[in-house]
Amino acid sequence: MIRSLRGRLFAGLTAIILLTGLVGGLFAYHWAFDEAIEMQDSVLIQIAGLVLSGSLTGGRELRGVDKDAEVWLIDQASEDDANLWSLKDGLALATRQGRPIRVLLRTRPDGTRFAVAQRTSVRDEIASDMAFRTVLPIAALIPCLLLVTAIVIARSLRPMVRLAGDLDRRRADDMTPLPAEQMPSELHPFVASINGLLQREHLLMNQQRRLVADAAHELRTPITALSLQVENLDPVDLSQSARDRVATLRQGIGRTRHLLDQLLSLARQDAGQDDTTTMSVVKLDEIAREVVAGLLPEAANRGIDLGFARLEPAWIRGEAVMLAALARNLLDNALRFTPRGGRIDAWVYRDSGAAILQIEDSGPGVAPEEISRIFEPFFRGQRPEGDGVGLGLSIVKRIVDRLGGSIEAVNVADDGCTGLRVLVRLPAVAA
Ligand SMILES: Nc1ncnc2c1ncn2[C@@H]1O[C@H](COP(=O)(O)OP(=O)(O)OP(=O)(O)O)[C@@H](O)[C@H]1O
Ligand SMILES: [Mg+2]
């Protein structure tokens, strides 16, 4: 059982073409064969006519008529074959020197008889030769037809293959409907069903995002209240062990706040629309400079040298908050993973129509088998550091996607130095 539609179509059409070709060929062969035999009979009749009119005399082999036709003219006077002369005037089958022949007998006005004869095997050979030549074009046509059929099938099924390719290449969260108008009408119900499914998926995804955002938002108030309560414990005279526990509690609350903030930030990016044309033009270099400035105290605290290696004006379309979130998440990672005494360099510059933001640290970098997964939500790798929840780079990725840019993270390794280099490329606008 052939499973592919293309295979089935091709097998079916091949069978039809071969069958039609075979039946048609057989008929054409027989028809042409009979025609050729009749034609040779009429040649015998014409020769007999010539003899009767006196233009030809008997006893000769008439090779001149057709070189290979082997037609003889036999006179009763020169060849006394009782078998032959017992036949009546007209066309007949007979034998001559033990071989079957086709013969036409005639009687001249003076009563003498003659025969025009031709060996049957020669006649058959000539006829089958001619019949074969009639069938030849049909036989040659069959491979051409098969080729054309294969091409037509492949072309007709191409929209389906293209549709599957389009679906395969889609981002998991891309819910734009498939274009039905470019598809053959047979595929319209199928495309409509997929679009319906995409729409339901979209709705469900939005509901879930809203649920996450609402939950994160609702949880912020009690968490803020909790951290206030913990702050209130500061002036209270507590034993050392109680202080230790309060410190752990504060850390836990801080982590939860960070998780809620990241969740909210991600939900906001997910809910935001992707149309950058309505966004205002902002200066990427200024935003990056502000974020770096805000993180300088923390960097100094950790003994890390944070600064710009290059800072050039670069205008892009976007929202200042989302770009600040992007830069902060990248720098936050760099700060977290870079050991004391290390350095973090930032670059902002323009490169052929793109605005580039690049952050490079001197930390350990990411394990090669993990680097493809760091943009997944909640992925934190084998050696999670500090209070991260694994959402930072998902937020960054989402922002870059919304702005129509691209991001890549590579490990740097030269002269024994390690680190991670993250390069964000965003569409720049002219100043
Ligand atoms: N600069 C870096 N150096 C080494 N590893 C990194 C660096 N940046 C990211 N990673 C790896 O990628 C993982 C994912 O990073 P991401 O920013 O998404 O999450 P996180 O920093 O753990 O948590 P969050 O940013 O939500 O607080 C990190 O846990 C870490 O394993
Ligand atoms: Mg992070």
Query: CA-to-CA distance for 174 and 162, rounded, in angstroms?
Result: 17
Please state the atom number of ligand 1 nearest to the C-alpha of residue 383: 31
Domains by residue range for the chain, with CATH: 5-144 (no CATH), 185-268 (1.10.287.130), 276-427 (3.30.565.10)
Q: Which two tokens stand for residue 268?
A: 């906001």
Higher pLDDT, 313 or 270: 313
CA–centroid distance, residue 220 to ligand 2 (Å):
20
Q: What is the mean pLDDT of residues 200-227?
A: 91
Q: What pLDDT sits at residue 66?
A: 54
Q: What is the mean pLDDT of residues 49-71?
A: 69
Query: CA-to-CA distance for 248 and 68, rounded, in angstroms?
Result: 114
What is the DSSP annotation of 135-202?
HHHHHHHHHHHHHHHHHHHHHHHHHHHHHHHHHHHS-TT--PPP-STTS-GGGHHHHHHHHHHHHHHH
Q: What pLDDT sits at residue 63?
A: 52
Which residue puts its alpha carbon closest to atom 8 of ligand 1? 333
The enclosing H or E element of 345 equals: strand 343-351
Mutation probe of ligand 1 site: the residue of 382, 393, 399, 410 with most atoms within 8 A of C-beta? 393
Closest CA to 61 of 96, 109, 18, 26: 96
Q: What is the mean pLDDT of residues 12-31?
A: 94
Structure confidence by residue, pLDDT tens digits, 160-210? 888 889 889 987 778 888 888 878 888 899 899 999 999 999 999 889 888
CA–centroid distance, residue 390 to ligand 1 (Å):
6
The tokens 């032959």 sit on which residue?
A: 84
Q: What pLDDT sits at residue 296?
A: 97
Please state the atom number of ligand 1 nearest to the C-alpha of residue 381: 31
C-alpha angle 178-183-188 in degrees, rounded to nearest 5: 75
Q: State the pLDDT confidence band at 301, using cuts at 50, 70 and 90.
A: very high
Structure confidence by residue, pLDDT tens digits, 340-377? 999 999 999 999 999 999 999 999 999 999 999 999 99
Spatial neighbors of 393 by CB under 8 A, at least 6 apart, are 329, 333, 374, 375, 409
Cβ < 6 Å from ligand 1: which residues? 262, 329, 333-334, 337, 361, 363, 365-366, 374, 379-381, 384, 388-394, 420
Query: CA-to-CA distance for 381 and 292, rounded, in angstroms?
Result: 26
Q: Which two tokens stand for residue 40?
A: 């040779």
CA–centroid distance, residue 328 to ligand 1 (Å):
12
Q: Which two tokens stand for residue 405?
A: 């840019």
Q: State the pLDDT confidence band at 58, using cuts at 50, 70 and 90.
A: low
pLDDT at 293 over 90: yes
52-56, 64-68, 391-395: least confident range = 64-68
CA–centroid distance, residue 388 to ligand 1 (Å):
7
Q: Which ligand sits closest to the CA of 366?
A: 1
Please state the atom number of ligand 1 nearest to the C-alpha of residue 380: 29
Q: What pLDDT sits at residue 68?
A: 67
Please state the atom number of ligand 1 nearest to the C-alpha of residue 377: 18
Backbone angles phi, psi at 241, to 5 degrees: -70, -35
Q: Which two tokens stand for residue 289?
A: 């400079």
Q: State the pLDDT confidence band at 3, using cuts at 50, 70 and 90.
A: confident
pLDDT at 263 over 80: yes
Max CA pair span of the chain = 159
Spatial neighbors of 222 by CB under 8 A, at least 6 apart, are none
Q: What pLDDT sits at residue 61?
A: 60
59-63, 138-142, 191-195, 205-209: least confident range = 59-63
Q: What is the mean pLDDT of residues 314-336?
A: 95
Q: What pLDDT sits at residue 64?
A: 46
Q: State the pLDDT confidence band at 414, using cuts at 50, 70 and 90.
A: confident
Q: Which ligand sits closest to the CA of 389?
A: 1
Whole-number average pLDDT of the chain: 90
Q: What is the mean pLDDT of residues 207-227?
A: 91
Structure confidence by residue, pLDDT tens digits, 84-119? 888 899 999 988 888 899 999 999 888 888 889 898
Q: State the pLDDT confidence band at 285, using cuts at 50, 70 and 90.
A: very high
pLDDT at 322 over 90: yes
Spatial neighbors of 363 by CB under 8 A, at least 6 apart, are 334, 337, 338, 339, 342, 418, 419, 420
Q: What pLDDT sits at residue 359?
A: 97
Spatial neighbors of 63 by CB under 8 A, at least 6 apart, are 69, 70, 71
